[in-house]
Amino acid sequence: MNRDRREFLRLSLGTAAFAALPPFATAQDNGVIQLTAGPSEKTLYPEGAAPSSLWTYNSMSPGPEIRVRKGERVRVRLTNNLEEPTSVHWHGIRIDNAMDGVSGLTQAPVPPGESFDYDFVVPDSGTFWYHAHNRSWNQVARGLYGPLIVEEPEAGFDRDHDLTLVIDDWRLGNDGALDLASFGSLMDWSHGGRMGNWLTVNGESLPTYALKAGEAYRLRLICAANARVFELDPARFGAKVLAYDGQALPEPVSLDYSPFLLGPAQRVDLLVVPQEDFALEEISGDEPFAFVSFKVEQGGGEAVSVPRITANAIPEPDLSNAKSIRMEMTGGAMGDLAEITYKGRRLQGEDFQTTRQVWAFNGVANLADEPLFRARRGETVVIETANETAWVHAMHTHGHHFRVIERSGATADDGKPWRDTFLVGPQQTTKIAFVADNPGKWLFHCHMLEHAAAGMNTWFEVEE
Ligand code: C2O
Ligand code: CU
């Protein structure tokens, strides 16, 4: 992993009021949820900071929490009030391809002033999210994302015991407002991506939530950062993991290693039965940075009963009969730029500045006409990603969850959970396996959004 030490802006705060959880999106107009993308202002840093010029859904960042039940139909009308085209991707939903929201692959981007209707069924319960998928490096970093929570069919944690925590990492200037000047910096694109210097949770600076001692809570962490890999240690407050990337584990597990990494687009659902005040801390810096606190009220707690969450049914890969793909990840700062082809042309010299393509998968930067591979429907696919760069990456498959079946140099055995986004460290090789059961054209890209824009973006096709 990239071990550079990170420091966040620091400030002293007075006693903050308790944060309230944001409201759910309610369906209006015959069950259609209205999502309007447009500019709005929001203060991201406490006490007297300048407001930031954001792009948001329904004037809030995160956008409204869309909460539905497993198997339900979701209808969303996206209206674009931005100055550039956009689309919405439903991250981690094993969705019908036409609704996947990828501008340039599954739909044309929606021009300013126009709208698009999304209509799909959610097959899995769990913690998911939605975000812009056109010029994502720009649109997501300005605030275009929100949580999408799919409830289990059976009764789970009730509203008071089920907290969604959308974590973002912002780059703020000295006035405390979003730094706009550095958007698109080639330095960021070729290094670790757009790294921020301030964290928010549900759009708030250093919020505090009130919990009751001895009761069981589900904390749904969603990493909406463009590039930051959070280093956390949930074991510090006795939390167990219920789910990764929306998919419940058979049993809640305790993490016996630290740091626990939460990369861009990844989610983790934690189970915590608090006894005393605690905080979620980012521990990569010289001292831990507590970015969300929990005030635990003593006494009167009900006896703990932990609702069970049932795992979704995902087809198990058949490793003895798999199609094997090897993908070498190259390029970037301190990497090899020697053989990168972009739009059929070998890049050299000045080309890297003009095309801004500096990363490649098997020597190809960004989407080529031909997919990385084609799979028959129902075929098991094993993808071996060899990270030959000096940077960590967060690889995401659209339309499918996979099991991470092998990781070179890994010390922790996390039991090969289902995921939709995996981290691969510098010089690390990782193998994932999944059944290609969802027909269509699907992206496979780095979710460090600057890396994706600068070349770490490919696609595969599952035949009808
Ligand atoms: Cu969060 Cu291409 O996706
Ligand atoms: Cu990357």
**Ligand 2 (ion): which residues have CB within 5 A?**
393, 446, 448, 451
User: How many angstroms is it from 24 CA to the middle of ligand 1?
Assistant: 22
Whole-number Å distance between alpha carbons of 114 and 176: 33
Residues near 410 by beta carbon (within 8 Å), at least 6 away in sequence:
none
Ligand nearest to the CA of 449: 2
Using only C-alpha atoms, the chain has a radius of gyration, in whole angstroms, of 21
For residue 161 and ligand 1, the question of a CB distance below 6 A is answered with no
Q: Tell me how long the chain is.
A: 464
Q: Which two tokens stand for residue 331?
A: 């390029």
For residue 91 and ligand 1, the question of a CB distance below 6 A is answered with yes
Determine the Cα angle at 387 with ends 382 and 391, to 5°: 140
Per-residue model confidence as pLDDT tens digits over 333-350: 999 888 999 999 999 999
Does the pLDDT of residue 12 top 50, yes or no?
A: no
Question: Mapping DSSP to helix (H, G, I), strand (E, B) and coil, where does residue 83 land?
Answer: coil
Per-residue model confidence as pLDDT tens digits over 301-335: 666 778 889 999 999 999 999 999 999 999 999 99
What are the backbone dihedrals phi and psi of residue 46, each rounded to the nearest 5 degrees, phi first? -70, 165
**What is the enclosing helix (H) or strand (E) of 322?**
strand 322-331
Whole-number Å distance between alpha carbons of 267 and 232: 12
For residue 240 and ligand 1, the question of a CB distance below 6 A is answered with no
Does the pLDDT of residue 2 top 50, yes or no?
A: no
276 DSSP β-pair partners: none
End-to-end CA distance of the chain: 39
Tell me whether the omega of the peptide bond preceding residue 234 falls within 30 degrees of 0, making it cis: no
For 277-287, letters b (16+ CB in 10 Å) and e give ebbbbbbbeee
Per-residue model confidence as pLDDT tens digits over 25-69: 665 557 899 999 999 999 999 878 999 999 999 999 999 999 999
79 DSSP β-pair partners: 36, 115
Contact indicator for 78, 88 with CB cutoff of 8 Å: yes
User: How many angstroms is it from 91 CA to the middle of ligand 1?
Assistant: 6
Mean model confidence pLDDT for the chain: 93
Q: Residue 403, exposed/middle/buried by CB under 10 A (0-12, 13-18, 19+)?
A: buried
